[in-house]
Amino acid sequence: MALHTPYEYLADVVTRRPKAVLFLVGVVLFTSLLGTTFVTMQTGSETYMDKNTERGMLLDKYSSTFQSDSLMLLVESDDVLDPAVLAYMNRLQEDVANQRYVSGVSSVVDLARGMNGGTMPSTSAEIEMARQKLPPEVFSRYVPSNLMTIMVVTLEPGLSQDVQATAVTNLESIVSISSPPPGVRVVVTGDPAFQQQMGEEMGQSMGTLIMVAMVLMVIAVGLFFSHVRYRFLSVLIVASGLILTFGIIGFSGLPITMVTIGAFPVLIGIGIDYAIQFHARFDEEARTSTLAEAARTTITRSGPSILYAMLSTSMGFLALLISPVPMIRSFGLVCVIGVASCYLVALVAVPTVGVMFRYRPKAGENSGNTQNEKKHAMESYNDFLGKLAGKVARHPVPILILCALIAFVGFQMDNEIVINTNEDTFVPPDMPAIIDLKKVSRTMGSTSSLPLYVRGDNVLDVEAVSWMYQFQEYEVIHNDKITGSRSIANYLAEYNGGILPRTSAEMDTALEKIPAEIRKRYISGNSEAIIEFSTVDMENEVAMSMIENVRRDLSWNQPPPGITAGVTGMGEMFTNLIDEIGKGKTQMTFLAFILIFVFLLLVYRKFGKAATPVIPIMMIVGWNGLIMYVLGIDYTPMTATLGSMTIGVASEYTILIMERAYEERARGCDLVPAITRGVQQIGTAITVSGMTTVFGFAALIVSSFNMISNFGVVTVITVGFSLIGAIIVMPAVLVLVGRLEGDGRHEKDPDPSS
């Protein structure tokens, strides 16, 4: 027999050599397991901003040249000014200062020594005398109360995230063997410690979510798929698809981010659908033909049709790749890889296992009442769906107007939904690192800053330094969110008798007097400099307005010729993220609509038929906006994917309803009866499929990450909306499209009871 398609070739191999195919699948999965060991977690700026953009390169250059991340040692005791505690801190500070990657350490120990003639106070009286000599505001910054003090550890600039994690581990090791006095507690905190712990928490959360999703899948399959033999095979297939996905991710070097974690329960929810569809088709064919014929029919008939469903779902995820936010792009890419992996495993594994283990379908009839009750319940639900579709089909215009109005309100409310880019709100609120970090912020006051990156042929030119000094003074006076500023210009004035140098010779003389540590912090050679504006703590929306004011001031108060200046830093990145999410979510949703429509147009070659499934999906996207507004759920880098994901998930249901309705019409049914019977025949299958998907998505709700948990709530509701759109909106659309195509005759359902 001539083989014409890959599906026919696969069917021939599966039926002739099932053992070899199963062995090959095992080899692929074992190789994928090895690939999972290369999977890495990624946090920090690289997940929020593309380093290949101009802003990304500027932030990367600033971080590697000037930014010195700080770690804090939070020391708590009944009395941190006790001589024994200060003596311990003195020893600890010396050990920390000698560690690799540490450029400096400061604490109350330095203040006490400085006010005591350069030696450590050894008695309570000496400590009190030293304290009296200090300005209260300086002392309170390091010792806000007798119960707590902070040791600030400055790291070398430009350290990678991995190196910073190593520095955190080293400090934690030193603290663990430092033998503090009884009652003294020392905790390593700060942004590097926060990033490290968040990565660990992400790994734990991902494992928990996958486990919960798999358990929920077992429950869902047990409830809704009990009429076939080996019903839990679908769960095993999804687990295999997940292993294949992890393997591809590991070998490709694609990192796991905070948003990507949520992709795996989504994949489980979608992947189980493919496995169930292949399994159900194989079970159906095995009842009337040999296992070899059942395998061949399942692969050659269901393979292409489910491929179309998988590709339509992928269209929504592919739209995410245009996002400027790397973690959103990685979410879309992982989802595409995942759905393709689950499809391939299901396509090969279901018929192979069936042939290999001589699959026997369960008997169609049973004498037990339980089975009869289940059958009766299913028939009752089918009848209900048929009657519902019939009523909708006879009154399509009012139904569509009502649904469209709700969607319209949702699109309007969507613009009122807050966009949240505050990383602290994304992570578990009880995570120790965030608790300690907030304690430090309350103690030390605002530590927020806004860097202005200055570049040019000679940033130490007299005119350039004068501009920096003048611009700093202007911003401090006119911008109420800026509390102070510092740059090389301030130090040049300090080391030049309180006035800025007026000649190159004066500039060189003053520059030589400035300590190398200070010069390194504010200038790099003659071509780069930094102005650091200290700011009050504020929400990202307020910070965005403040940064825009600084940019506006720069546009009219420009630096001298040959010198450029631009705002950068982590604060600028998070505030700009608000704008990127706002624009990106709209662009991604629009692109997803275009991709799914073009895909359907290529498949069906008819404009009306390609547009029909898209209409209910548009309404579902509007309903999503309304429910997010009502529930008070913010847009985050994760919920920003909702529009595109909804289009991908909902398209499968609407396409299946349309296909079955057109199939009934091809058999000779008139318009309304065809729609009614189509919904009646496939509505139950779609509902079961939707419920299993809901179970997979529901695992997201248990995540300790608020961002993922909120995403889970919305996605569960979205699947419900998708079912409503397919079962209620789709019949109404099919009727109107049928009328436009001139096929509106005999619309009345022949069954008057419906």
**Closest to 42 in 3D by CA, of 191, 255, 253, 201:** 255
Domain membership of residue 233 (yes or no) is yes
> Could you give the dihedral angle defined by the CA atoms of residues 256, 257, 262 and 267, in that order, rounded to the nearest 10 degrees?
-30
Say yes or no: 643 and 530 in one domain: no
CATH at residue 451: 3.30.70
Q: Which residue has the higher pLDDT, 71 or 26?
A: 26
**Highest-scoring range by mean pLDDT, 28-32, 234-238, 428-432, 512-516:** 28-32
Say yes or no: 350 and 379 in one domain: no
Domain membership of residue 255 (yes or no) is yes
Q: Is the pLDDT reported for residue 367 higher than 60?
A: no
Mean pLDDT, range 665-683, rounded to an integer: 80
Say yes or no: 428 and 451 in one domain: no
Domain membership of residue 132 (yes or no) is yes
Asked whether 705 and 428 are in contact (CB, 8 A), the reply is yes
Say yes or no: 560 and 657 in one domain: no
Give the pLDDT score at 746. Answer: 46
What DSSP element (H or E) covers 121? none
Q: Is the pLDDT reported for residue 754 higher than 50?
A: no
Instruction: Give the pLDDT band of residue 749 (cuts 50, 70, 90).
Output: very low
Per residue, the 3-state secondary structure of 450-473, as one string, reads EEEEEEECCCCCHHHHHHHHHHHH
Domain membership of residue 212 (yes or no) is no
Q: Is the pLDDT reported for residue 525 higher than 70?
A: yes
Domain membership of residue 710 (yes or no) is yes
Say yes or no: 441 and 526 in one domain: yes
Say yes or no: 360 and 497 in one domain: no
Give the pLDDT score at 539. Answer: 80
Which domain range does residue 245 map to?
Answer: 1-37+225-364
Asked whether 105 and 151 are in contact (CB, 8 A), the reply is yes
Single pTM value for the model: 0.77
- Count: domains in the chain: 4
Token pair of 623 as six digits: 């309903």
Give the pLDDT score at 366. Answer: 40
3-state SS assignment for residue 606: coil
Say yes or no: 348 and 427 in one domain: no
Q: What is the largest CA-CA distance in the chain?
A: 104
CATH at residue 702: 1.20.1640.10
| Ranges of H-type helices in 479-613 | 488-494, 504-513, 516-522, 540-556, 570-604, 607-611
Say yes or no: 271 and 234 in one domain: yes
Measured between alpha carbons, how far is residue 664 from residues 102, 284, 606, 659 in Å?
74, 20, 18, 9
Say yes or no: 466 and 489 in one domain: yes
Average pLDDT, the chain: 84
> Considering 575, 605, 629, which residue would you say is the last residue of a domain?
575
Give the pLDDT score at 34. Answer: 94
Say yes or no: 191 and 155 in one domain: yes
Domain membership of residue 50 (yes or no) is no
Domain membership of residue 51 (yes or no) is no
Say yes or no: 442 and 541 in one domain: yes
Instruction: Give the pLDDT band of residue 11 (cuts 50, 70, 90).
Output: very high
Domain membership of residue 403 (yes or no) is yes
**In percent, how much of the chain has pLDDT > 70?**
93
3-state SS assignment for residue 262: helix
> Considering 364, 386, 412, which residue would you say is the last residue of a domain?
364
> Considering 364, 380, 397, which residue would you say is the last residue of a domain?
364
Say yes or no: 134 and 274 in one domain: no
